[in-house]
Amino acid sequence: MLIFKGAKLTDGSVQDLAIQEGRIYEVGEHLQHDGSNEIDLHGEVYVSRGWIDLHTHAFSKFPPYCAYGDEIGYQTGVTTVVDAGSSGYEDIDEFYEESKECKTRVLAFLNVSKTGLGRVDELSDLNHLSFPGLKRACEKYPHFIIGLKARISSSVVGKQGIQPLKIAKRYADELHLPLMVHIGNGPPMLGDILAELRAGDIVTHCFHGKDNHLFRNGLFPGLHAPIQPCREALSRGVLFDIGHGTDSFSFAVARKAKAEGVPFHTISTDLYKRNQEKGPVYDMATTLTKFLYLGYDLETVIDAVTDAPANLLYKGQSGRLKKGMVADLTLFTVDEGEHVLTDSLGESVTYHQKISPKGVVLRGEYIEL
């Protein structure tokens, strides 16, 4: 048995956590078990459910949007990475075999185009969309494929407009899977995209700063009130995911969203090898720190990579620490100091704290970082 003594939780409380046979055995104060391996955190290191990154590119095949799961996963404090459409059904067997080599838990949103990111205009030819192929892949890997992905921006869909989204939505409905939709430059315009989505569907890159963003509804450039379809989509239960990425996160849009009460539900990185090494993403911890800078409290920020994605992926299962849950954990600190944070448009700010991962527990195994 492994016991973390004095683990700090994001609500500010300090508890002991006992782990046995890959699951949380007990959460409480002053836990004692004969023969246990105790690690004293002295109330200084936070412990949360393992971080879940809902939007990554964890398949190594298609540069530049590629990485190995462990390099963007447990080595950065993330215990579950979800690949967002790198693979279509043509390459899903290869991706699945690669994922099994990782310590990190790897899941996938399957690209609705059979080519995946083998080409970056994958929805410009409707011949690349085939329901039988998608269905076979989803039936073969029901515990690996957790949804479908459609990139609905002008460079991807070309002259097809909104049609690929309509097809993707029909496929997702028939397979009873959520649809993750990438938004960016239009056409299609964002209002038209949001109108197609229903409860449980996910809009990723929700706070991007390109022309076709949530607040570009006036006659003049700048940030105005959120477009009406945004409010309507949220009321239907559409989920907003950050999906930071190289080009898809704006401090200005995020500040406006906070001021207007437009929520995000999950924080993800859109991480792959290049933006891990060269930024502005770098890793999940840096992305989470940006939301502390924006004024969100630590519990809200960590919930967005634990409780919220766990509810989505595991059908209502809480991401909170409790007896009996699988012992996937992230250990981290919030360190004081001056840190420069940069968004996708090049705006840099200095913030006085930074979240730093210190270790993970994966299937009961403790790995110090």
Tokens coding 287: 């992305």
The pLDDT, as a whole number, for residue 168 is 98
Per-residue pLDDT of the chain (369 residues), as tens digits, is 999 999 999 999 999 999 999 999 999 999 988 888 999 999 999 999 999 999 999 999 999 999 999 999 999 999 999 999 999 999 999 999 999 999 999 999 999 999 999 999 999 999 999 999 999 999 999 999 999 999 999 999 999 999 999 999 999 999 999 999 999 999 999 999 999 999 999 999 999 999 899 997 654 556 777 888 999 999 999 999 999 999 999 999 999 999 999 999 999 999 999 999 999 999 999 999 999 999 999 999 999 999 999 999 886 565 678 898 889 999 999 999 999 999 999 999 999 999 999 999 998 899 999
Radius of gyration of the chain (CA): 20
Query: Per the confidence metrics, is the pTM higher than 0.85?
Result: yes
Q: Six-digit token pair at 259?
A: 């001021």
- C-alpha span between 314 and 335 (Å, rounded): 32
CB 205 within 8 A of CB 255: no
Which pLDDT does position 35 carry in this prediction? 83
Backbone φ and ψ for 314, nearest 5 degrees, come out as -115, 25
The per-residue pLDDT for 347 is 97
Q: What pairing do the DSSP bridges indicate for beta strands 23-28 and 78-84?
A: unpaired
Instruction: Specify the length of the chain in residues.
Output: 369
Evaluate whether 333 touches 28 at the Cβ level (below 8 Å).
no
- How many angstroms separate the CA atoms of 18 and 169, rounded? 43
Alpha-carbon distance of 9 to 12, in angstroms, equals 5
* Percent of residues in the chain assigned helix, strand, coil, to nearest 5: 30, 30, 45
Cα diameter, the chain: 70
Residue 222: the pLDDT is 66
Helices (H) and strands (E) in the chain, counts: 12, 15
Residue type, 332: F
What six digits make up the tokens of 322? 């409790």
Please tell me whether residue 274 adopts helix, strand or coil conformation. Answer: helix
Burial 114-127 (b: 16+ CB within 10 A, else e): bbbbbeebbbbbee
Query: Which helix (H) or strand (E) covers residue 108, if one does?
Result: strand 105-111
Strands 329-342 and 46-49: antiparallel
What DSSP designation does 277 have?
H
Give me the pLDDT at residue 304, please: 98
pLDDT at 343: 98
Segment holding 69, helix H or strand E: helix 69-72
Strand partners, 78: 51
- DSSP secondary structure string for all residues of 21-33: TTEEEEEESS---
| Res 218: pLDDT | 56
Tokens of 340: 């420069």
